[in-house]
Structure 1
């Protein structure tokens, strides 16, 4: 149940906001009173999220940003602080799926692409977000990992490696900043109704549904709700957590 005042006065920063989980989270933050910075490298789709978040009552700053480009990430964080004065919540959600292949067939360029966006991109975002949070005296970071971060995925070595690493990075950062009023957590979605899942299955969504013990895909809004809880005061005793929301897929 949305609480319109849960994030009033707070500033939320959402990457990968053009669609799927990022879009749902951006709109949810706006509904609950946050000023929201939304980032994605796909400008047209980002504008759609911007319009939806504004319609939900939020003040929104849209920034075209490729998280694999460190200079763009640094500039985006600086732009948010210049506009809103602070950065209270960072949801690092930008990521891409791999081209399915057994490990020995993965090209180095494809490996570097996946790790460069999913892992290095998350690291660079955290680096600049956390520096700002240290300066202002607190904040919350939530990273998108995956059920593939706690189990193997046939044909998905690069993706699984990136998501396993995000969990380790999240837990380590949680210890680094625990005494500085900064919490760092990860959310681990399963098979969710997103454009990424549509691409990964080649449009055959039933294949993904068949993997889910609950017999359906998750909804982006279900992941967004978990992110908002982690970022809220009610999640204040949670740090270093890797919260699985996957309908039982990884059991």
Structure 2
């Protein structure tokens, strides 16, 4: 059974990693996917690969930190498809720097990409969904649940995503909007974001990577698809009684 037949799915940061895996999984389950990303070339490549498989996926360029672009994207989807059924705020960035190494510019950039964009997207999603209904999934991280001295700025943004999601979810529920909002909390996954952040450590990269793998009870990083499939569960009718919840998918990392 396909859980998303003819439903309209908007996914940010969908050119690679978890976003791309989610776009493919939604489309395989019957969804009509609008995939957005700031990287035009990589997005085009990803969308072409999926459409060649017969999947219904379209790509749109989007800088998620641009508030006005959010209005354009949502308005365009509503005009073409009649509404948005699922919004996945997935776009994000990260780096490994201690507090002392993190500059003000570093901090502001991460806040804009990881947290402000989720505010813009969630607000726009609620406006589009509050009459017809829908689901919003905000991709946080286990960085919202456990501290890591090498990414305090990332911890702050993802902790913000988690608590913002809860507030928005409860607000919609109490207003009796037919909208569910939850957050997904992935652990370390085999994505470009993670590999680039580790590689940037230089001589310390190998030791950090070994330490991460050793701390995961399953002993390995997740594949993007292993994160995407629980995301689809949150977006599906199977999760109809989940509101403001955190779904952790981390190979047991924070259970230790």
Contact 1:14 1:91 in 2 (8 A): yes
Q: TM-score, normalised on structure 1?
A: 0.94
Residue among 173, 178, 188 paired with 1:181 = 178
User: 1:90, 1:207 → 2: CA distance?
Assistant: 34
User: 1:65, 1:206 → 2: CA distance?
Assistant: 35
User: 2:235, 2:122 → 1: CA distance?
Assistant: 15
Aligned to 1:121: 117
Structure 1 unmatched ranges of 5 or more: none
Aligned to 2:38: 41
Contact 1:143 1:187 in 2 (8 A): yes
Matches within 5 A, 1:97-112: 97-98=94-95, 100-112=96-108
Displacement after TM superposition at 1:207 (Å): 4.5
Matches within 5 A, 1:88-237: 88-98=85-95, 100-134=96-130, 136-178=131-173, 179-202=176-199, 204=206, 205-237=209-241
User: 2:210, 2:52 → 1: CA distance?
Assistant: 33
User: 1:86, 1:189 → 2: CA distance?
Assistant: 28
Q: TM-score, normalised on structure 2?
A: 0.92
Structure 2 unmatched ranges of 5 or more: 200-204
Contact 1:119 1:163 in 2 (8 A): yes
User: 1:47, 1:241 → 2: CA distance?
Assistant: 33
Displacement after TM superposition at 1:208 (Å): 3.2
Structure 1 runs (4+) greater than 6 angstroms displaced: none
User: 1:70, 1:12 → 2: CA distance?
Assistant: 20
User: 1:102, 1:60 → 2: CA distance?
Assistant: 39
